[in-house]
């Protein structure tokens, strides 16, 4: 099953994708994580995309689509599907993602839209930290285990967050219409505790699987 995890930055797409990955063994494919891996490992691609991530701007489409094409060609995705987190971000990317899957006779089964109002996003991202175990925590609602060191994402600075939210509303939110037209859009209220949102998402996936 290929599922788009959808919603504004900080809505919990990545956290929920990891939970769903553990439950259903569907690989989570986060374009942001793929880019951050390249930046950390100082690859050529990492050097080329760093400036976009630092400013909260979109990486050029061809770079993004190539990295996704390569990821979905790996065995785990071909066998078990994919939970797309961070892609597509524009209607153009959505149609190209459909093509990338289509050439392998695959398609998106569902878009799970995790709705969270902007005010909550700004607070959440101000409190978001990455633990030394690589997992995402929130200093208020889901703090890292005692003693664990943590850092912040450079693009979680308030000004960059405002830029990312503006981009989301302008470029990404129109995708709600794109998937609604296909009849595969499902919306959940993401402004609730992680476990409650997970249960609702699992209910939707179980319905899709049957």
Interaction of residue 17 with ligand AMP, rule CB under 6 A: no
Residue choice 16, 31, 110, 113 for contact with ligand AMP (CB under 6 A): 31
CB 105 within 8 A of CB 149: no
What are the CA-CA distances from residue 153 to residues 48, 85, 161, 208 (Å)? Answer: 18, 17, 11, 34
From the list 37-45, 75-83, 85-93, 117-125, the region that binds ligand AMP by CB under 6 A is 85-93
b/e for 95-107, b at 16 or more Cβ within 10 A? ebbbebbeeeebe
58 binds ligand AMP (CB under 6 A): yes
Stretch that binds ligand AMP, among 87-95, 114-122, 144-152, 200-208 (CB under 6 A): 87-95
164 part of the active site? yes
Is 181 among the catalytic positions?
no
- Judged by beta carbon, residue 69 or residue 208, the one nearer ligand AMP is 69
Pick the binder of ligand AMP from 7, 56, 144, 190 (CB under 6 A). Answer: 56
The enclosing H or E element of 124 equals: helix 118-127
The H or E element spanning position 24 is helix 13-24
| 16 touches ligand AMP by CB under 6 A | no
- Assess 59 for contact with ligand AMP (CB under 6 A): yes
Interface with ligand AMP, residue 35, by CB under 6 A: yes
The residue among 35 and 178 lying less far from ligand AMP, judged by its C-beta, is 35
Active site residue 74: no
Q: Is 153 part of the annotated catalytic residue set?
A: yes
3-state secondary structure of 114: strand
CB 8 within 8 A of CB 167: no
3 state DSSP class of 93? helix
- Closer of 2 and 35 to ligand AMP (Cβ): 35
Residues 147-206 binding ligand AMP (CB under 6 A) are: 155, 164
- Please tell me whether residue 96 adopts helix, strand or coil conformation: helix
DSSP per-residue letters across 44-72:
HHHHHHHHHHHHTPPPPHHHHHHHHHHHH
Give the catalytic positions in this structure.
Answer: 13, 89, 128, 153, 164
For binding to ligand AMP (CB under 6 A), which residues are involved? Answer: 9, 31-32, 35, 52-53, 56-59, 64, 86-87, 89, 93, 155, 164
């Amino acid at each position: 099953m290929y599922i788009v995890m959808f919603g504004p930055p900080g809505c919990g797409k990545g956290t929920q994708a990891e939970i769903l990955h553990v439950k259903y063994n569907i690989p989570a494919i986060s374009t942001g994580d793929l880019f951050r891996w390249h930046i950390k490992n100082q690859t050529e691609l990492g050097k080329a995309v760093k400036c976009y991530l630092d400013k909260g701007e979109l990486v050029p489409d061809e770079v993004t689509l190539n990295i996704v094409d390569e990821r979905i060609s790996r065995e785990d995705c071909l066998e078990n599907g994919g939970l797309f987190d961070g892609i597509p971000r524009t209607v153009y990317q959505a149609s190209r993602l459909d093509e990338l899957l289509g050439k392998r006779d695959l398609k998106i089964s569902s878009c799970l839209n995790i709705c969270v109002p902007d005010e909550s996003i700004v607070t959440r991202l101000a409190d978001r930290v990455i633990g030394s175990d690589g997992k995402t925590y929130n200093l208020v609602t889901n703090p890292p285990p005692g003693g664990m060191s943590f850092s912040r994402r450079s693009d979680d600075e308030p000004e960059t967050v405002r830029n990312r939210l503006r981009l989301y509303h302008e470029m990404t939110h129109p995708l709600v219409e794109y998937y609604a037209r296909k009849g595969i859009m499902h919306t959940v209220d993401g402004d609730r505790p992680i476990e409650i949102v997970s249960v609702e998402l699992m209910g939707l996936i179980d319905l899709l699987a049957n």
